[in-house]
Amino acid sequence: MIVPGTRFGSYEIVGALGAGGMGEVYRARDTKLHRDVAIKVLPKMFAADPDRLARFEREAQSLAALNHTNIAQVYGQVELPAEAGSHSVALVMELVEGEDLSQRIARGTIPLDEALSIAKQIAEALEAAHERGIIHRDLKPANIKVRDDGTVKVLDFGLAKAIEISAPDAKVGATAVMNSPTFTSPAVTEMGVILGTAAYMSPEQARGKAVDRRADVWAFGVVLYEMLSGVRPFDGETMTDALSAIISREPDWKALPADAGRSVGPLLRRCLEKDPRKRLQAIGEARIALEAPFAPPAPGAVRQGGINAPVVAALVVGALSLGALAGWAVTFGRQRQPTTVPARLSLPIAPADSLTGGFVLSPDGSQVAFIGQLAGRNQIFIRRMDRDEASALSGTEGASVVGPAFSPDGRWLVFTATGTLKKVPADGGPVAILAQTSAGGNSRPAWGPDDTIVFSNTARGLSRVAASGGEPQVLTTPDLKGGEMAHEMPWFLLDGKTLLFDVRRSTSSSNSGSTMIVALTLATGDRRALFPGMVLGFVGENQLIIARDNSVLSLPFDTNRLAATGEPTAPLPGVVNAQPIMFSTVPLFTVARNGTMVFLPSRAGEGDHPMMIIDRSGTSTRMAVPPHRYSDPRVSPDGQRLAVHVFEEGRDNWIVDLRRGSFMRLTFDVGEDETPIWSPDGKWVFWTSTRGNVNRAIYRKASDGSGAEQMVWSGDSHVHVGGIT
């Protein structure tokens, strides 16, 4: 402790203000400028580490350049006199009077209006810092001051980075926690490392990965949730409990007050996405949302969609209902940021028992057609936005899960079923057969403005047929020798002269290197490759909606030059890219020309499952491995290892050491590797895969990961290896 009256330079210590993971804080008097300041004396470990001191000085210079109303100003740094003990360096900072946010929350939940005002100022502070390349890394209520006049000041920007251990000296555990907020742990305090409050760490921090500004977005969401509910969304008695909650559990959304859940619930869900790629990508998006008036509509009200005020609708499968979210503008010509707060309404899919496949909006956005199940069989249902429930279309039983497509005038639907292309009036009527299609029905057809329909043919290419029927014309054929698997998801440009479609080189819908958007000039047959690693979702007048990796984005597009006119914008909120269903890829979003979007909302960790071991008595034990989208688990003959397919990691096969809980990736090809099985002696793992020019083959590799893969069988049929004798 530094005693009051101690002087160094123009500063005189008045008294102690507190102590924490980042050091001791004192009130001091600046005798030259006649103002009170805060002196933050950094931990003793700095004195013996010149490299860390030098790095801290560089970071302090960056922090001093931050000048924003909602950021506590760093004035500079000073060296302390000998009477300060083994301390050697301190920061001179703006003294912010008032209580910190943790003290305010301790008194009870914060009313919505007040919480939103505080949150907006926090977002503005973070945005200003992020624009200068500074990440807070330690955002929590204790680092947020609220003055009596309501002004918010965020403290300790970048200090976690400034004092972290340099790479040569860092151990794995220390690196993980130094990327995280302050949590004191005996295991690391012996090294002199300060860790923070685990409850505010992002999942990537909890896993020890590198962080970027999206970690601050997560912490912002945690703080906003805590202000509104009075409890932390992720907590536990120990640090391990808290980290486990962050990685594997969802917040209790019911803990939010009803008005807060309706107004800011969608924003909080985006901030607290466990996958940083799906999370809100910039805190400025949160600021814009918070600046809008929060006025949820009356129950059952529908906001009218259009280019100036479009509606975003969400299919909520778990509740067997269709919901609507208004607030993300899909304007065809430019991408607008959210200007209103999302609002929900119920649109039941009854009488369907469940949603089992794709869905599509009519061009004017007035109705949505979807594949549902009734009495155990798929068929098409149509739901008009001005009616109370959906209607089943007779004669569409057995419709492919990829879903139907509307005619340009919205009066007809075209779909595939049992290897045939069919059409049916949208308001019900006789079904007409148009042509033979790919038996798998692997792609939704497209109905062009010239009244022709493009569909997947039996060779997995594309053909065209008149909407009135007739002899189909082959448009494309996959180049199997060049590695092409199929041509899918055709879309007409508005003039009907050019067709855009996806070329798929692998059945792995999650692998961005396996797809290409291609343009076909119908009059000449000329093809032009446009965008690798993207999947087409919608073609507008001056805009494409595309899927890349697991995000859905808007891409400005010149339909005359067939070229992008800008970069893809930030992902649309909570929209799922696509989902494989019965060996077909079903986009889980659809867009109408008036700006309406219907989509299946994503949820953090959705599809992830813990790994469980069940013994012969039926007792289940959770394995010490993180949840993932696992499938096809096979235990080795000696019971010590597990071969498993991991969906989101490139659709590859992995080996899990059941004793240590460690992972080893076994396969690395862009093809889909699945159904791993063990040889009887446990030395080999066999699996089926799509590789290069082969539709389906069986491979093997040494189970310890050594050596090269070996193809042991190939063929044209869709097979899976089931066992070895």
Catalytic residues: 138
SS3 675: strand
Check: CB of residue 385 under 8 Å from CB of residue 365: yes
**Cα angle at 603 between 597 and 605, to 5 degrees?**
145
SS3 105: helix
Calpha distance 718→359 (Å, rounded): 26
**Cα angle at 489 between 580 and 675, to 5 degrees?**
25
Helix/strand/coil (H/E/C) assignment for every residue in 594-631: CCCEEECECCCCCCCECCEEECCCCCEEECCCCCECEE
Residues 6+ apart with CB under 8 A from 598: 313, 314, 315, 322, 359, 361, 368, 589, 590, 591
**Cα angle at 281 between 280 and 287, to 5 degrees?**
65
Burial level of 184, CB count in 10 A (0-12/13-18/19+)? middle
Query: Which runs of E-coded beta strand occur in 188-285?
Result: none
Check: CB of residue 457 under 8 Å from CB of residue 438: yes
Calpha distance 395→402 (Å, rounded): 17
Pairing of strands 462-466, 452-456: antiparallel
In this structure, what DSSP letter does residue 165 have?
P
Buried b or exposed e, range 85-121, using 16+ CB within 10 angstroms: eebbbbbbbbbbebebbeebbeeebbebeebbbbbbb
Helix/strand/coil (H/E/C) assignment for every residue in 271-331: HCCCCCCCCCCCHHHHHHHHHCCCCCCCCCCCCCCCCCCCEEEEEECCCCEEEEEECCCEE
